[in-house]
Structure 1
């Protein structure tokens, strides 16, 4: 299994497709790991060199308790693979990292796609009563250090959305959603410290000059929906897409829809 040694960590990564094709860097959500992209890999790798990795604290990556930069980790992987520029596709936390990367290192980013993401520094928004109550449960599980319960509660509120019931959703999707976050429990005691982008991307996304696709699931959290509206309105060359009947992981819940949108957008922008 391929790993890349970086300062204080061993990053697990996978590649698909031919190295001569345009590169895509996929960055997973904070309630998942690189396996979340499995449904799209075959289609994307047909005409692209697809790179994905587990960020620190997730999946099969291991880390020491050190200060680190997610942007530096991503660039180290691109350098290791000999990739000068890539279209960066990120979901949730992964999309925030992707935006930061586009802002801090525009020469390395050919295109940008976010799924259910907001820019670093996005102002706090008021939660709905339902969301607030669910986060109280999450806080209690964290305080009790009940990591398995915490992982399950996090997956439920984000992947299913605050307005939908688990029992009304596709059982296979529900099982996959829980499994994607369950494997991260082994990292609960790790304490790496992420170095934030300064100044954050919130006031800097106006400088993004590459083709950008901003997407979100219609049943995502209220704060994520607000961030979607902000990015669509603020990033100069951005187009938007709302995935119906999906929450925070539309590429897992509605894989065919996401695949179609991604392939069309990549083709239209010659990426």
Structure 2
């Protein structure tokens, strides 16, 4: 644990070399990078963290910003600049760090990423209604199961198409986050203002962006938009038969892409 902006954040720090910080998805915690740490740490200093309110980190209190927490972690660890790798919400946080603290970021890898300020399309909302329907927000098991069914499995696959151990792990991570959210109160999370969705052209570092072909269509479209608007961006082909948590579901493909890109970006 390390104190960052008044909160204790859990992290792991492995390997040596140019720094890489891995930022987890909103339905996960730092354990989702378990397949990346070893391969990356053979060449890089690899830091994984639990964002505030996730995993082993403190529950949020007061006013805070996730992108400032990531920059604060770099300060606390004595890291001047790092490549940021983010999945889903973690990708949105990574983008926000690159915009709010551009001198701290050397490169971005964005996997199944969202973008601050993006509004989900009617198609995505309709898909949720079709695939999931109504869920009792007070039933944490049901909510976690719904999140994993929609995001990890994806709207066009069936749960039997995905490794059951992966689904169990994803549900456990998400339920832990939901339980923490249910007990957190009296806090305000500050958003990047103006948000990233209209500012992608301001990013001046190399960016690698990819998505799973079985993810919701908005995610692939966001990847296309990032690749089109960021001046130095590489768009990976959508990974076949993969959903929202690419690093867990397709670790070999992700690791190969990460190592190749980071070697060229540093």
Shorter-chain TM-score range: over 0.9
Conserved? CA contact 2:9–2:56, under 8 Å: yes
Conserved? CA contact 2:207–2:234, under 8 Å: yes
Q: Distance in 2 between matches of 1:175 and 1:39?
A: 16
CA shift digits 1:30-84 (9 cap, x unpaired) = 0100000000100000110111111122101112432211111111111111000
SS in 2 for 1:58: coil
Deviation of 1:171 after TM superposition, in Å, equals: 2.2
- TM superposition score normalised by structure 1: 0.92
Q: Distance in 2 between matches of 1:96 and 1:46?
A: 27
Q: Distance in 2 between matches of 1:58 and 1:48?
A: 25
CA shift digits 1:200-242 (9 cap, x unpaired) = 1112110111110011111111221221111111111000112
Q: Distance in 2 between matches of 1:264 and 1:7?
A: 34
What residue in structure 1 maps to residue 155 of structure 2?
162
Deviation of 1:134 after TM superposition, in Å, equals: 4.0
Deviation of 1:8 after TM superposition, in Å, equals: 4.8
Structure 1 gaps of 5+ residues are none
Deviation of 1:135 after TM superposition, in Å, equals: 5.5
- The farther-off stretch of 48-57 and 91-100 is 48-57
Conserved? CA contact 1:148–1:185, under 8 Å: no
- Which of 120, 127, 132 is equivalent to 1:130? 127
- TM superposition score normalised by structure 2: 0.93
What residue in structure 2 maps to residue 14 of structure 1?
12
- Would you say 1:65 and 2:58 are equivalent positions? no
- Would you say 1:86 and 2:82 are equivalent positions? yes
Q: Distance in 2 between matches of 1:6 and 1:262?
A: 27
Aligned length: 262
Q: Distance in 2 between matches of 1:86 and 1:267?
A: 13
Q: Distance in 2 between matches of 1:117 and 1:255?
A: 16
What residue in structure 2 maps to residue 225 of structure 1?
220
- Which of 177, 186, 201 is equivalent to 2:170? 177
Alignment of 1:214-253 (within 5 A): 214-241=209-236, 242-253=238-249
Alignment of 1:92-131 (within 5 A): 92-128=88-124, 129-131=126-128
Structure 2 gaps of 5+ residues are none
Conserved? CA contact 1:118–1:224, under 8 Å: yes
Q: Distance in 1 between matches of 2:100 and 2:24?
A: 19
- Would you say 1:150 and 2:143 are equivalent positions? yes
Large movers: runs of 4+ above 4 Å: none
What residue in structure 1 maps to residue 264 of structure 2?
268
Give the superposed CA RMSD.
1.5
Q: Distance in 1 between matches of 2:253 and 2:165?
A: 17
What residue in structure 2 maps to residue 47 of structure 1?
43
SS in 1 for 2:122: coil
